[in-house]
Amino acid sequence: MSVIVPESVALGMQIDAELERRKRLVDRHGHLRQLERELQRLDPNLSLVKASEHPSQSALTPGAWHVRRDNQGTMPSYIPILDDDGRPREPTMLEVHRLQQGDMQRPGYFEDLRRQQERRRAGIEAEKRLASLDRQEHIKDVYNTLERPQAGYAKKWTNSTRGKRAR
């Protein structure tokens, strides 16, 4: 279904749409420039690049943004920016934060790493305890169901014909 509008209104709508598109483009490029500055502050050899849909280098994920590090005397290395499902996504300050956290020359890196490992280990232990309790509860339920059929029912069952409705 299409709506017929005067030519001046259609032209105004096209101009508004183009201005909005340009505004979003400028905002996006400003964000990417700020992100690139933060990466440069972390390491002067870091930069942001976007791979084409059909990259010439096999090290790049097609269509994804990458953090590129220019290694002196050897080929550059790339870190793809992907979401949890492995699909390309827009770069954010999360990449800078992850690189800062992974910087082994940062003071406190090894203490942070030790704390993370302890938290992960404690989480695994807690999951194991919960799984064990769940298994024990399940075994109790199965036992009670087999030994005492009325367990868990609000109304008592009977084999007596008096307790049943006449048909």
Indicate the burial class of 39 (C-beta count within 10 angstroms; 0-12, 13-18, 19 or more).
buried
Neighbouring residues of 87: CB distance < 8 A, sequence distance ≥ 6: none
CB-CB contact of 99 with 91 (8 Å) = no
pTM equals 0.48
Which pLDDT tens digit goes with each residue over 98-139? 877 777 676 777 788 788 889 999 999 999 999 999 999 999
**3-42: pLDDT as tens digits:** 777 887 777 888 777 777 766 655 666 778 888 888 888 8
**152 φ/ψ angles, rounded to the nearest 5 degrees:** 90, -5
Q: To the nearest 10°, the Cα dihedral for 31, 35, 40, 46?
A: -120
Residue 68: which of 93, 50, 87 has the closest Cα?
50
